């Protein structure tokens, strides 16, 4: 099928919930994808940080193929060998003790919210249920997760929203401290806000947040759905801060492109979930878990993470050179290979221009170009991407860059 045929069929049968670009991607390999007409693109969106090992990584493909020929699905009424192995990998490489598997980041965050409230009822008191989250956060599209997401645009027309959430500005400790109430049981945040504009938590702020949680007996929940699993140059973003969460959520990169999510917690918190308290029919099934074992084994490799950090620093340096060249670039932000360019122009013209030249990027909000490429990209890939961005920016008209 050609692109137009796919689009027409989709418009007829698929719900209109996405502002899709007029293209259909049909093949991927490494850092590249191809559309239905055979055009090749360098992919610096990577399935929204899902394809951290690139498209169709051989080890992930082989793990899926072998498992698909053996056992694809059984329920969690039974022990599942690949699931147990993946849980061991995650626990041994993190500061958490137990894992619950699900299918997405939103599911993982729903589980985190439930677990925090179960813990609060058991250890903190019957009136402890409130969770404080950060402005510009993004925690998922389910009803509780979208309520935790402190962005009104995502909550429009969904009233009434579940009670028990409070929002404060990111990186503003005074506002956070002031927001604590007798009902507060947890603070939930992304160490690096991806959808919110690639906003990075300050080191001192994170130290203060952890100390506040200790003083007030609050749970600290880190949403590392987008920024975790090697994206920042460390396996988990919290490792940059010398701060350990009580609960952490993962998804996106965890299974190399296969849908999966995970909720991790310390032993004391995890034991608040007992049989019947939480479940997921497909969560951690043999096929997803086998893919996860293959992906996490690579992502957790120390040498691999060193390379990610080096490539992130190289890319950041290149972006700073663009900032020095163009007055409409306000700042370079991010860690590792989750990077952003703040701009004073609507980013759509730049995104569209890059696409025409064979580079896929995206814009969060309207004024932050976000780069979340596969972690397996080369420095040559980075050079090629920056050269395309430079070409597009140099061709912008005065009206396009005007505030």
DSSP per-residue string spanning 291-308: HHHHHHHHHT-HHHHHHH
Residues making up the annotated binding site for N(2)-acetyl-L-ornithine are: 141, 280
Provide the token pair at 175: 């506002």
pLDDT of residue 400: 47
Q: What domains can be seen in the chain, in order of their start residue?
A: 3-56+302-401 (3.90.1150.10), 59-299 (3.40.640.10)
Residues making up the annotated binding site are: 105-106, 138, 141, 223-226, 280-281
Q: Judge if pTM exceeds 0.85.
A: yes
In contact, 318 and 377? CB cutoff 8 Å? no
Provide the token pair at 2: 């050609």
φ, ψ (nearest 5 deg) of residue 250: -135, 160
CA 335, CA 163: separation in Å to the nearest integer? 33
Residues making up the annotated binding site for pyridoxal 5'-phosphate are: 105-106, 138, 223-226, 281
CA 147, CA 164: separation in Å to the nearest integer? 9
Segments of the chain with pLDDT less than 50: 398-403
pLDDT of residue 306: 98
**E strand or H helix at 204, and its extent?**
helix 203-216
Query: What pLDDT digit, counting tens, does each position of 58-88 carry?
Result: 999 999 999 999 999 999 999 999 999 999 9
3-class SS letters over 62-118? HHHHHHHCCCCCCCCCCCCHHHHHHHHHHHHCCCCCEEEEECCHHHHHHHHHHHHHH
pLDDT of residue 365: 84
Tell me the CA end-to-end span of the chain in Å, nearest whole number: 41
Provide the token pair at 205: 């702020």
Q: Which residues pair with 130 in a beta bridge?
A: 184
pLDDT of residue 399: 46
Residue 326 CB partners (closer than 8 Å, separation 6+): 393, 401
Provide the token pair at 169: 């500005």
**CA dihedral sign of residues 100, 106, 107, 112:** positive
CA 141, CA 398: separation in Å to the nearest integer? 38
**E strand or H helix at 221, and its extent?**
strand 219-223
**CA dihedral sign of residues 138, 252, 336, 372:** negative
Q: Which residues are catalytic?
A: 138, 223, 252
């Amino acid at each position: 099928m050609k692109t137009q045929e796919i689009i027409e069929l989709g418009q007829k049968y698929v719900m209109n919930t996405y502002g899709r670009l007029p293209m259909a991607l049909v093949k991927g390999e490494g850092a590249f994808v191809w559309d239905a007409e055979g055009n090749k693109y360098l992919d610096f969106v990577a399935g929204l940080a899902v394809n951290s090992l690139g498209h169709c990584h051989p080890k992930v493909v082989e793990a899926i193929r072998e498992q698909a020929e053996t056992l694809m699905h059984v329920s969690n009424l039974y022990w599942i060998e690949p699931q147990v192995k993946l849980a061991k990998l995650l626990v041994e490489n993190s500061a958490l003790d137990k894992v619950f598997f699900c299918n997405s980041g939103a599911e993982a965050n729903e589980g985190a919210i439930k677990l925090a409230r179960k813990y609060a009822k058991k250890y903190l008191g019957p009136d402890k249920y409130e969770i404080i989250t950060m402005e510009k956060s993004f925690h998922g599209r389910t009803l509780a997760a979208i309520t935790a997401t402190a962005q009104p645009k995502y909550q429009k027309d969904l009233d009434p929203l579940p009670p028990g959430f409070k929002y404060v500005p990111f990186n503003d400790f005074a506002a956070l401290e002031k927001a604590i109430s007798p009902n507060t049981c947890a603070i939930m945040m992304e160490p690096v806000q991806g959808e919110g504009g690639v906003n990075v938590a300050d080191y001192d702020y994170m130290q203060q947040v952890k100390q506040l949680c200790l003083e007030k007996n609050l749970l600290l929940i880190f949403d590392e759905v987008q920024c975790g699993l090697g994206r920042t140059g460390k396996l988990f973003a919290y490792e940059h801060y010398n701060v350990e969460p009580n609960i952490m959520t993962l998804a996106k990169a965890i299974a190399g492109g296969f849908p999966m999510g995970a909720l991790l917690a310390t032993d004391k918190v995890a034991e608040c979930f007992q049989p019947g308290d939480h479940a997921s029919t497909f969560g951690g099934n043999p096929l997803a878990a086998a893919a996860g074992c293959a992906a996490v084994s690579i992502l957790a490799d120390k040498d691999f993470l060193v390379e990610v950090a080096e490539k992130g620093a190289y890319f950041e340096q290149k972006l700073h050179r663009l900032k020095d060249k163009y007055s409409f670039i306000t700042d370079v932000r991010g860690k590792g290979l989750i990077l952003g360019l703040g701009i004073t122009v609507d980013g759509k013209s730049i995104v569209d221009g890059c696409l025409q030249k064979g580079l896929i990027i995206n814009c969060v909000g309207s004024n932050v170009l976000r780069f979340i490429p596969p972690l397996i990209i080369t420095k040559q890939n980075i050079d090629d991407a920056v050269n395309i961005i430079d070409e597009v920016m140099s061709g912008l008209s005065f009206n396009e860059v005007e505030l």
